Amino acid sequence: MTKPSKLIIEADGGSRGNPGSAGSGAVVIDAESGEVILEIAKYIGIATNNVAEYLALKAGLEGALALNSEAQILVRMDSKLVIEQMAGRWKIKHPDMIQIGSQIQKLVANLDIRWMWIPREENSRADALANKAMDDRADSVSKSEQNAPRSGVAEFNQELPSSVRAPGEVTEPLTTLVLIRHGRTHLTESKRISGSGGENPGLSELGRSDAHAAAKAVASIGSTGQWAHISPVSAIVASPIQRTRDTANILANELGLGVDIVDHIAEISFGDWDGHTNEEAEAKWPAEFARWRGSWSDSPPNGESLADFDARVQDGLDEILSMHAGKTVAVVSHVMPIRGLVRAAMDAGVSAYWRPQISPCSVTILRFWGRQAAEITTVNSTSHL
């Protein structure tokens, strides 16, 4: 049985009353595959929040060492106190924590270990386990089968591009974009052109239903299901158009996050064709429609060319990567901007703007290391609908 050589520990503790009923949670991840291989929830009893967090770390370390006592370990926690004290930059002063800290220092004395602080929203897996322990007032341990990672993540690299053919010496932080197309509107349902001009409808009843389904799928990222190996979403951005705002707000309510508006990822402008079906536009503007198909520079009357649109979308990508570097970001947008971001990830040609299918409320996941490297995880996933 091959032992994982690089492990990630995510740990968190909580106390309802501080001191009060307390629990701890820890997740151990195979850093090379991204697979969650151990989940630990422990009920502590009456304790402070800080003690619970230390005990969560202790449980995670003990679990990791049982898997491989010689593994390289990265500890990620949202407790600045625990990370700084364990890294030796802050002194442990509280008597309760001095004892636990001493026990942990003995565990890690000869390990190749790194300590990383992460925002609270990026530690949701361990937080959920700590709450489970407090709710159940009981311990639980879940261990996955070793040497049997899910086929979809067997070659997944948690921190760097997964392919050995990818460029080396990547230094930019990994930013994961979870792209969600907005839900249906009455224009979508009647197959009418709907760009950034003309009518600006909200979601239809079916569109809202699909958006709720997509929100639940995105909320499961980092915890359960097919995307459990990806870090949870910690930020949401959206196009300024109403149908994307409606979809983003449903997602925000599910995740408990706010929504930032990025104008550059609005849908392309179809100008005078807005509100028409494709057949109507071709019949009314036959010459213009023929030139427009497959063209980089031609645009609909009073609309936007692909060349101009692509420049705008790439500016939007740079804005998102700058605003949310190192995070997993939900990006609620439209068919064409999502295709443009896929085009950027693939370093593809103009045909990337019509070859990928992007369905309403589909999920597409891209990983960017700034502009140094990129990777496509999934395109147009609709299994949740």
Q: For 76-108, write each residue's pLDDT tens digit.
A: 999 999 999 999 999 998 887 898 999 999 999
In this predicted structure, the answer to whether residue 175 has a pLDDT above a threshold of 90 is: yes
> What's the fold here for domain 6-151?
Nucleotidyltransferase; domain 5 (3.30.420)
What pLDDT is stored for residue 146 in this prediction? 47
What pLDDT is stored for residue 8 in this prediction? 94
6-151 and 174-381 have identical folds: no
Instruction: Specify the higher pLDDT residue, 144 or 205.
Output: 205
Q: How far apart are CA 49 and CA 241, in angstroms?
A: 42
Write the pLDDT tens digit of every residue in 325-339. 999 999 999 999 999
Q: 10, 35, 122, 267: which is the annotated catalytic residue?
A: 267
What pLDDT is stored for residue 35 in this prediction? 82
Instruction: Specify the higher pLDDT residue, 266 or 32.
Output: 266
| 168: DSSP letter | S
What pLDDT is stored for residue 154 in this prediction? 65
Write the pLDDT tens digit of every residue in 3-12. 888 999 999 9
Q: Confidence class of residue 370 from pLDDT cuts 50, 70 and 90? A: very high
Domain 174-381 class in CATH:
alpha beta
Give the count of beta carbons closer than 10 Å to the beta carbon of residue 201. Answer: 17
- State mean pLDDT over 56-85: 94
What pLDDT is stored for residue 229 in this prediction? 82
Question: Percentage of the chain surpassing pLDDT 90?
Answer: 82
In this predicted structure, the answer to whether residue 149 has a pLDDT above a threshold of 60 is: no
In this predicted structure, the answer to whether residue 209 has a pLDDT above a threshold of 80 is: yes
Residues 6+ apart with CB under 8 A from 272: 285, 300, 301, 302, 303
Query: What is the number of residues in the chain?
Result: 385
- State mean pLDDT over 329-355: 97
Q: How far apart are CA 147 and CA 3, in angstroms?
A: 8
- State mean pLDDT over 9-20: 95
Q: Mean pLDDT of all residues in the chain?
A: 93
Write the pLDDT tens digit of every residue in 210-263. 999 999 999 988 877 788 788 889 999 999 999 999 999 999 999 999 999 999
Q: H or E element: which one contains 260? A: strand 260-261
Sheet-wide strand order for 363-369? 260-261, 235-238, 328-333, 174-181, 363-369, 373-381
DSSP 3-state assignment of 213? helix
* Angle (CA) 41 142 86, round 5°: 50
Short-list 248, 266, 12, CA closest to 127: 12
Write the pLDDT tens digit of every residue in 294-326. 999 999 999 999 999 999 999 999 999 999 999
Is 62 a known active-site residue?
A: no
Q: How far apart are CA 56 and CA 24, in angstroms?
A: 5
Q: Confidence class of residue 147 from pLDDT cuts 50, 70 and 90? A: very low
What pLDDT is stored for residue 150 in this prediction? 54
Q: 35, 182, 304, 375: which is the annotated catalytic residue?
A: 182
Is 276 a known active-site residue?
A: no
Residue spans of the domains in the chain: they are 6-151, 174-381
Q: Confidence class of residue 183 from pLDDT cuts 50, 70 and 90? A: very high
